[in-house]
Amino acid sequence: MNERDRSTVLYAASYGPIIGIKLGIKYLKFKRAARRGERRFYHELRSQGLSRIEARYLAEQYGSAVSVRSLIRESGAAIPGLGWL
């Protein structure tokens, strides 16, 4: 391994945790917005006359679209090795 390869590996290793933290924060913000949307969707369904059970089920389906597993599962076809989730 030459000097350039070592510096590339060190660069990637030093910025990896920072990128992970930034992605984690973005995901949590995205998840919070999805939960708010789920609540709004539930209340809108209830105001339109849907039963509580049906409204809750539909709202949960709406909010569950934002999960790490589902995002990885959907991208697993494009990225080899991630289809196991």
Give the Cα separation of 77 and 73 in Å (integer). 8
H-only helix segments in 1-85? 3-47, 52-63, 68-75
On the question of pLDDT at 6 being above 70, the answer is yes
Q: Is residue 81 part of a domain?
A: no
Domain containing 46 equals: 3-75
Domain tally, the chain: 1
Query: What does the pLDDT look like over 42-82, one tens digit per residue?
Result: 999 999 999 999 999 999 988 887 777 777 777 665 666 65
Give the Cα separation of 2 and 17 in Å (integer). 24
The two structure tokens encoding residue 27? 């995901």
Portion of the chain with pLDDT greater than 70, in percent: 86
Q: Is residue 83 part of a domain?
A: no
Q: Is the pTM of this model over 0.85?
A: no
Q: Is residue 82 part of a domain?
A: no
Q: Is residue 20 part of a domain?
A: yes
